[in-house]
Amino acid sequence: MRVLVVGSGGREHALIKKIKQSPKVDYIACCPGNGGISYDAECFNVGATDIEGVVALAKEISADLVVVAPDDPLVLGMVNALEAEGFKTFGPRAEAAIIEGSKVFSKNLMLKYNIPTAEYKVFESPADVIGYIKDKNEFPTVIKADGLALGKGVIIPESLEEAEAGVREIMEDKIFGESGSRVVVEEFLTGPEVSVLAFTDGKCVKPMVSSMDHKRALDGDKGLNTGGMGTVSPNPYYTDEVAAECMEKIFIPTINAMNSEGRTFKGCLYFGLMITPKGPKVIEYNCRFGDPETQVVLPRLKTDIIDIFEAINNETLSDLDIEWSDEACTCVIMASGGYPKSYPKGIEIKGLTDGQLDGVTVYHAGTAIKDGKLVTAGGRVLGVTALGSDIKEALAKSYKAVEAISFEGAHFRKDIGRRALEALK
Ligand code: AMP
Ligand code: GLY
């Protein structure tokens, strides 16, 4: 089989390394890919949102399967375009990807089908939002841009002044573009967060092993929200009891709701959950694999991922037994100095041979090869990932490797997995 993976981050690198393990696959391409991915797949300089370009590339390389990994091409309808040309794909069509593409859509879906989530209201004018927040006078509150915003479209103001500033940025300055034309204001929930990625063919849903993301830039969950600074799997808060409740009240109802709306979801559906004192609630849906959740989930997958993709395409997922390793997996992100704000690029990365290091798997997120040298090319640069008999052992391996890798200004959190370890005590 010849497989094309669309995207360029650590998630895509993790997908490619897993696809490479399949005996069915003899060629993998990636667009646009990155420096580290080029050791595992042939990279083509076609942008991840360039639908015509990706369709043309799929034809040129005679792809048997195209895996569309990032949110924006999915929301833009890349899978629809590929299917129209007869390609087999992995990823939801645009009409289903809207579950991530519009917070207003997903909140209304949950309300309509009684899926537990934070209470909310939708607003289209800054004055109305501020009037509402002022009347309610409950802080912190949560304001979310309706559309895609690179995982950064959520603000949690502690005061009316902060809320006013945030609403101005999202709705007037449009820092997330048209994503901020509408906003959702919702109730602030508390409790540990769990990420659950799930395979679904629209008929059945098979959750993968759980994970915990660390979204803030700095230790102790301080600093700005990022795409994710590290992950561990499993997530100790996701007990068998919680899992059973999520299956019954969230996962199955969501698949059914999408079918009822004529928006059957096929692919990987990501449930961002919060385990509140009143039970698990949905914080967000993503229409794709999480990043950096994928980096700790897929290394634990024992079943051939191509068999899973094929079962989803054939709508026979319920017949497939998906197996997972009992090992724990941890990923520590090494980011460019300054991320998630502006950061330099093109800085040489030292300590790796052909992009890798013994004892760990280094998933490349933002790297390039320039004049034969591996250099930084993004905010999140590397995801240093290890398997171990438990989270503690895996973390020790990840952090030992992080110490051996360097680039000027490199920033990483030193407390990835701490909360998980505390929960296990
Ligand atoms: P999202 O992009 O929707 O996942 O939101 C980013 C982060 O904001 C989440 O991972 C949570 O930590 C936080 N968050 C989002 N919604 C809420 C909420 N209703 N209550 C408390 N925290 C929230
Ligand atoms: N790590 C969070 C996300 O992929 O959206």
Going by the DSSP 8-state scheme, the letter that residue 187 receives in this structure is P
Q: Looking at residue 250, what is its pLDDT?
A: 98
Predicted local confidence at residue 178, as pLDDT: 85
For residue 254, the CA-to-ligand 2 centroid distance in Å is 19
- pLDDT at position 19 is 98
Q: What is the pLDDT of residue 177?
A: 85
Atom of ligand 2 at shortest range from CA of 231: 1
User: From the alpha carbon of 188, which atom of ligand 1 is closest?
Assistant: 20
Instruction: Output the pLDDT for position 99.
Output: 98
- The dihedral region occupied by 372, where left means phi > 0, alpha psi between -120 and 50, and beta the remainder, is left
Measured from the CA of 153, which atom of ligand 1 is nearest?
Answer: 2
Helix (H) or strand (E) holding 52: helix 51-60
Residuewise pLDDT in 10s, the chain (425 residues) = 999 999 999 999 999 999 999 999 999 999 999 999 999 999 999 999 999 999 999 999 999 999 999 999 999 999 999 999 999 999 999 999 999 999 999 999 999 999 999 999 999 999 999 999 999 999 999 999 999 887 678 889 999 999 999 999 999 998 888 888 899 999 999 999 999 999 999 999 999 999 999 999 999 999 988 989 999 999 999 999 999 999 999 999 999 999 999 999 999 999 999 999 999 999 999 999 999 999 999 999 999 999 999 999 999 999 999 999 999 999 999 999 999 999 999 999 999 999 999 999 999 999 999 999 999 999 999 999 999 999 999 999 999 999 999 999 999 999 999 999 999 98
- Residue 226 CA, ligand 2 centroid: distance in Å: 9
Predicted local distance difference test score (pLDDT) of residue 179: 86
Closest protein CA for atom 4 of ligand 2? 290
| Helical residues (DSSP H) of 113-234, grouped into ranges | 126-136, 160-167
- Diameter of the chain measured on Cα atoms: 61
Measured from the Cα of 213, ligand 2's closest atom is 1
What is the pTM assigned to this prediction?
A: 0.97
Give pLDDT tens digits for 18-30.
Answer: 999 999 999 999 9
Among the listed residues 106, 109, 98, 86, the one whose alpha carbon sits nearest the alpha carbon of residue 313: 86
The predicted pLDDT at position 225 comes to 86
If we measure between CA atoms, which residue out of 58, 53, 49, 9 comes closest to residue 29?
58
First-to-last C-alpha distance (Å) of the chain: 46
Residues with CB under 6 A from ligand 2: 151, 213, 227-228, 286, 290-291, 293
105, HSE (Cβ side, Cα atoms, 13 Å): 21
- Report the amino acid identity of residue 35: G
Ligand 1 pocket by Cβ (under 6 Å): 118, 142, 144, 151, 154, 186-189, 193, 215, 225, 272, 283-284
State pLDDT tens for residues 10-60.
Answer: 999 999 999 999 999 999 999 999 999 999 999 999 999 999 999 999 999
Ligand 1 mutation pick, 99, 224, 274, max ligand atoms within 8 A of CB: 274
Q: Is 162 exposed, middle or buried (0-12, 13-18, 19+ CB in 10 A)?
A: middle
pLDDT of residue 190: 95
Question: Closest Cα to atom 4, ligand 1: which residue?
Answer: 284
Name the nearest CA neighbour of 187 among 137, 129, 119. 119
